[in-house]
Chains A and B, each alone.
Chain A
């Protein structure tokens, strides 16, 4: 138990320091995962196998992965500013933390003098760790247990409401879209049929390659407007030149052979 503690405790402190010191949020999340896993090991060493499993499943598995999901969603690259917005905030928070540490160390330090009882007696009395927790959970704390279910439901509904976005315009169905297209045809004469597909060249058939019209100009409708706005559009005329050069060479080769003969 002592050995486990002295292996895990430094790792946990390192993980905690990594959490607050890494500039990149993903590294912080991974240091947090290290701390969580080591904490689970400490639970196991304190004769709490049920909490060991719950810690890994709920914290490392669910909560931290949720953090990573959100991190990926809101942009991993968002830099954390180093500028102090409140003057002297670092110094004050360092002082506050030092005070908190001193207060808790001194209050905890000499408080416990009695030797620890250890979980062994309680576990054998209840017939196992999970049985003991179940007796407490569904006996003495059953009302609290019921309340947590209400809490979880409220949290789930709250998250759904928070993530829900009201539509500003009603969604267009197939009928409305067809009508709009025919109306545009009647008003401005734009083609109501499907748009031309992207260009297919010898070296590229990507959707970012615009198709060429018979006169050699680029057809703007053949690639998505989003790609054009992002600047992902490839240069079709350049792609065509490669093929044109290859054709020119292919035509020249038989001529040279003829001369040799």
Chain B
């Protein structure tokens, strides 16, 4: 009798312990998934702004169709990468693809900016000014959302790799999540602060 009871009690303790670990990991995973939806919202807004910018700039940049084409292509690649990443946030391959596509888009926008410097008329255009302002501010928000996501991923990974969670994380199917790190194409240029 005593033996059965003690086996039973031990079983229950192990069970409760496993459930605790499982629940803690689920909670942290949900947190980073939620944080990713912020990146989704901000990037989508950015992707919607870019065609507008290109469309308005087209009238002025007749001889720069290649640059414009590159921006559109980079944007489309990024949209596709975002869609894939949105299905599996934290998955290393899709996160790397998204980071690469975002870096590409940043580069294309940079060269567009450089080209636009040569067209004073274009720079004076009200719509263009508004759109680039909106783009810069969205970029700030993307950076912010990314930081929030990375914070949550870090918290999750730390928990997952710590003892004793690491023993059970694999059994429950929790794998490490991947950070979203977009190489900063304009590291040399400080963020514009104008007021």
A and B from one complex: no
Residues of B within 8 A of A (CB): none
Residues of A within 8 A of B (CB): none
